[in-house]
Amino acid sequence: MSASHDESAFERAFHHAAERHERVWIFIVLVMLVLLGIGTMFYVVFDYGVITHDTVFHRDPTAVEREPAFRDGRLARTGPNDYAAYVVGRVWSWSPGVIHVPQGARVTFHVTSTDVLHGFQVQGTTVNVTAVPSIVGAVSYVFDRAGTY
Amino acid sequence: MSASLDARPVAIRPALAAATLNSQRRTTLAFLVAGFSALLIGALIGPLQALNYAGLNLYPYLQPVLRTYYTGLTVHGVLNGYVFPFFVLSGLLVCLSGRELGLAPNMTLWRGGFAIMATGTVMLLLAMFDNSSSVLWTFYPPLEGSPLFYLGMTLLGLGSVAPLPVLHDLRRRWKRGRPAASITPLVTYMGLITMWMWALSAVGVMSELLFQLDPWSLGLTRTVDPIIARTLFWLTGHPIVYFWLMPAYVSWYGLLSRQAGGKLVSDPMARLTFVLLMVFSLPVGSHHQFQDPGFSAVWRGILVALTMSVALPSLITAFTIGLSLEFAGRLRGGRGWFGWFTALPWRDPSVAGQVLAAVSFILGGATGIVNGSWLLDNLVHNTTFLPGHFHLTVGTVVAMTFMSVTFWLIPELTGRRLLSRRLALAAMWLWFVGMSVFATGMVWAGLYGVPRRAWVSALPHSAYTALYGAAHAPMVLVAAGGVLLWAATLCFYAVFFGTILAGRRGQAREPVPFAEALGSNGPPSALARALEHVGLLVLLSLLVMVAAYLPILWSFLGRVTEARGWVVW
- What 3-state DSSP class applies to B504? coil
Domain A50-143 architecture? Sandwich (2.60)
Q: How far apart are CA B478 and CA B459, in angstroms?
A: 18
CB within 8 Å of chain B, chain A residues 92-131: 92, 111, 115-117, 119, 121, 123-124, 126-130
Q: How far apart are CA B436 and CA B413, in angstroms?
A: 32
- What are the phi and psi torsion angles at B295 (to 5°)? -105, 140
Look at B309 and A44 and tell me if their CB atoms are within 8 Å: no
CB within 8 Å of chain A, chain B residues 34-93: none
pLDDT at B264: 93
For residue B10, the 8-state DSSP code is: S
Q: Residue B40 above 90 pLDDT?
A: yes
Residues 6+ apart with CB under 8 A from B466: none
Which of B312, B449, B516 is opposite residue A124, by nearest beta carbon?
A: B449
The kind and range of the H/E element at B540 are helix B534-557
Q: Which residues of B are catalytic?
A: 238, 242, 389-391, 452-453
Q: Which amino acid is at A38?
A: I
Residue scoring higher pLDDT (B471 or B284): B471
- Report the pLDDT averaged over residues B521-545: 90
Look at A137 and B559 and tell me if their CB atoms are within 8 Å: no
pLDDT digits (tens, 9 = 90+) for B409-450: 999 999 999 999 999 999 999 999 999 999 999 988 888 888
Whether this model's ipTM surpasses 0.90 comes out as no
CB within 8 Å of chain B, chain A residues 54-93: 55, 57-61, 91-92
> Would you call the peptide bond into B247 cis, given omega within 30 degrees of 0 as the criterion?
no
pLDDT at A137: 84
Q: How far is B134 from chain A (nearest CA, A)?
A: 13
Q: Residue B343 above 80 pLDDT?
A: yes
Residue scoring higher pLDDT (B379 or B13): B379
Q: Are B108 and B99 in contact (CB under 8 A)?
A: no
Q: The whole model's pTM is what?
A: 0.90
Residues 6+ apart with CB under 8 A from B436: B360, B363, B392, B396, B481
Q: Which amino acid is at B404?
A: S
- What are the phi and psi torsion angles at A70 (to 5°)? -75, -40
pLDDT grade for B11, boundaries at 50, 70 and 90: very low
Q: Residue B1 above 70 pLDDT?
A: no
How many CB atoms lie under 10 A from the CB of residue B230? Answer: 24
Q: Residue B374 above 70 pLDDT?
A: no
Residue scoring higher pLDDT (B287 or B113): B113
Percentage of residues in chain A having pLDDT higher than 70? 87
Query: What's the 3-state SS for B99-117?
Result: HHHCCCCCHHHHHHHHHHH
Q: Which amino acid is at B178?
A: R
Which of B226, B297, B560 is opposite residue A117, by nearest beta carbon?
A: B226
pLDDT digits (tens, 9 = 90+) for B92-119: 999 999 999 999 999 999 999 999 999 9
Residue scoring higher pLDDT (B95 or A143): B95
Look at B521 and A117 and tell me if their CB atoms are within 8 Å: no
Question: What DSSP string runs through chain A?
Answer: --HHHH--HHHHHHHHHHHHHHHHHHHHHHHHHHHHHHHHHHHHHHTGGGS-EEEEE-SSGGGGGGSHHHHTT-EEE-SSSEEEEEEEEETTEEESS-----TTEEEEEEEEESSS-EEEE-TTSS-EEEEBBTEEEEEEEEE-S-S--
Nearest CA in chain A to B11: A1
Alpha-carbon separation of residue A40 from B125, B200, B459 (angstroms): 42, 29, 37
pLDDT at B290: 73
Instruction: End-to-end CA distance of chain A: give it in Å, rounded.
Output: 67
Q: How far is B526 from chain A (nearest CA, A)?
A: 14
For residue B559, the 8-state DSSP code is: T
pLDDT grade for A6, boundaries at 50, 70 and 90: low
CATH class of B31-557: mainly alpha
* Domain assignments of chain B as residue spans, ordered by start: 31-557
How many CB atoms lie under 10 A from the CB of residue B502? Answer: 10
Instruction: End-to-end CA distance of chain B: give it in Å, rounded.
Output: 66
Q: How far is A140 from chain B (nearest CA, A)?
A: 13
Q: Are B417 and B506 in contact (CB under 8 A)?
A: no
For the four alpha carbons of B374, B376, B382 and B385, in that order, the dihedral sign comes to negative
- What 3-state DSSP class applies to B143? strand
Dihedral of CA atoms B371, B372, B376, B379 in degrees, nearest 10, equals: 40
* Residues forming a β-bridge with A137: A111
Q: How far apart are CA B40 and CA B35, in angstroms?
A: 9
Q: Which amino acid is at B91?
A: G
Q: Residue B6 above 60 pLDDT?
A: no
Average pLDDT along chain A: 80
For chain A, say whether B299 makes contact (Cβ under 8 Å): no
> Would you call the peptide bond into B551 cis, given omega within 30 degrees of 0 as the criterion?
no
Q: At what angle do helices B147-160 and B84-101 cross, to 10 degrees?
A: 20
* Residues forming a β-bridge with A105: A143
- Report the pLDDT averaged over residues B142-153: 93
Lowest mean pLDDT across A76-90, B117-131, B365-379: B365-379
Q: How far is B301 from chain A (nearest CA, A)?
A: 7
pLDDT digits (tens, 9 = 90+) for A72-104: 878 888 888 888 888 888 877 887 878 888 888
Q: Residue B16 above 70 pLDDT?
A: no
Dihedral of CA atoms B272, B285, B455, B157 in degrees, nearest 10, equals: 80
Maximum average pLDDT range among A56-65, B470-479, B503-512: B470-479
Maximum average pLDDT range among A41-55, B88-102, B455-469: B88-102
Average pLDDT along chain B: 89
Residues 6+ apart with CB under 8 A from B389: B364, B367, B368, B370, B371, B439, B443
Look at A135 and B10 and tell me if their CB atoms are within 8 Å: no
* Domain assignments of chain A as residue spans, ordered by start: 3-45, 50-143
Q: Residue B481 above 90 pLDDT?
A: yes
pLDDT digits (tens, 9 = 90+) for B190-211: 999 999 999 999 999 999 999 9
